[in-house]
Amino acid sequence: MITGKRSHCVNQANECTFTFSSPVGEMNVELRAYNDGLTFRYVDADGKANVVDENTSYIIPDGVNRWEQPYDQNGYEDFYENRTDGAAIYNRKGTINQWGYPMLLKSDSETYTLITEANVTRGLCSSLLNNQVRGNEYKVERGYIRFHKVMKAASPWRVVMLGSLGDIVESTLVTDVSDPNCLGNTDWVKLGVASWVYWAYNHGSNDYKIVKPFIDLAAKMHWPYVLIDEGWDLMKNGGNVEDAIKYAKKIGVKPMLWCNSLTSWIGPDAPGLDRDISKKEFREKEFAWLAGLGVAGIKVDFFNGDGRDFINYYHDLMECAAKSLCL
């Protein structure tokens, strides 16, 4: 791996494939057993299958400690509460029986289990867990399936990590089963800490005199990046965004800018309506312009779900950024 938990990864497993036949075609179930967990996925064996649902379920008995986040398709920003049963919860959004990944479990023997998914490629949608029908049975439910009844005849890998809490933290199962890096040159991929105006000044990125001290903070702390959030295109009070970018570069800090995906926050008061990066032609011009200014990266915000169209959009954004901003 070029970034992440470790530079050297060992990816070893025992794999079995089971083929199931029906009058409408064949489906393979691929399973891999690792030292720190197991993974499985469904793959069309003969090109004839039309996948309309998935019946994968995880049975979690009452009494098992679980940390689960109520599913929120717009942000994944709800709390992970420690619970011991599968009862619905009630909050400002109503009755919740849907849960976002990852879900962490702890047994009486101090064994931890983390449930998630991996390798959500183009043509697929991400999923969630739904225990509305039977409280102890958490069914894998594809995000926004009501709009995409027929899916690509394959699934993401279903991932179950097992072991101590340390094993869970150190596991690389998600990347082990994901497609290999397809970029040639990766020298430009540099992870690092950023100072961020938004923590202290909600909507403060439109004020040059607020942004500038956070650029100075990044330089003082030897952090490589500063993130200038929503409102940068309206920056005033001593300078505009180009002035802020120029100043950051001068003192050795790389700026990153916020963008609206324009899939969720699209009302009349939404920022970025005139900067619609969901449109390919504008996105390519915008990213090229940002790269020319010296912007090192972008934060794209407010996606409206996990359906196939949104997953494809994620890939579009990453591919365009890799071509325009970084290479």
Looking up residue 43, the CATH number of its domain turns out to be 2.70.98.10
Percent of the chain with pLDDT over 70: 94
Highest mean pLDDT among 117-126, 158-167, 179-188: 158-167
Based on the domain organization, do 249 and 152 belong to the same domain?
Answer: no
Please give the Cα distance from 192 to 315 (Å, whole number): 22
Name the residue range of residue 292's domain: 194-326
Please give the Cα distance from 296 to 325 (Å, whole number): 7
Residue 252: give its domain's CATH number.
3.20.20.70
Please give the Cα distance from 81 to 76 (Å, whole number): 14
Based on the domain organization, do 84 and 153 belong to the same domain?
Answer: yes
DSSP string over 72-95: -TTT--S--EEESS---EEETTEE
Based on the domain organization, do 57 and 170 belong to the same domain?
Answer: yes
Based on the domain organization, do 304 and 230 belong to the same domain?
Answer: yes
Please give the Cα distance from 146 to 143 (Å, whole number): 8
Closest CA to 33 of 156, 138, 118, 159: 159
Q: Note whether 106 and 164 are within 8 A (CB).
A: no
pLDDT of 205 higher than 90: yes
Based on the domain organization, do 26 and 168 belong to the same domain?
Answer: yes
DSSP string over 234-289: G-BSS--HHHHHHHHHHTT-EEEEEEE-SSS--STT-TTTTS-TTSHHHHHHHHHH
Q: Would you state the pLDDT for residue 142?
A: 82
pLDDT tens string 21-76: 888 778 899 999 999 999 999 988 777 766 677 889 999 999 999 999 998 877 78
Rounded to two decimals, the pTM is 0.90
pLDDT tens string 154-169: 789 999 999 999 999 9
pLDDT of 242 higher than 90: yes
Closest CA to 147 of 131, 130, 125: 125
Mean model confidence pLDDT for the chain: 90
Highest mean pLDDT among 90-99, 134-143, 214-223, 298-307: 214-223
Burial of residue 291 (CB within 10 Å: 0-12, 13-18, 19+) is middle
Q: Would you state the pLDDT for residue 50?
A: 66
How many folded domains does the chain comprise?
Answer: 2
pLDDT tens string 3-34: 888 888 889 999 999 998 888 778 899 999 99
**Interval 162-181 mean pLDDT:** 94
Kind plus residue range of the DSSP H or E element containing 69: strand 65-70
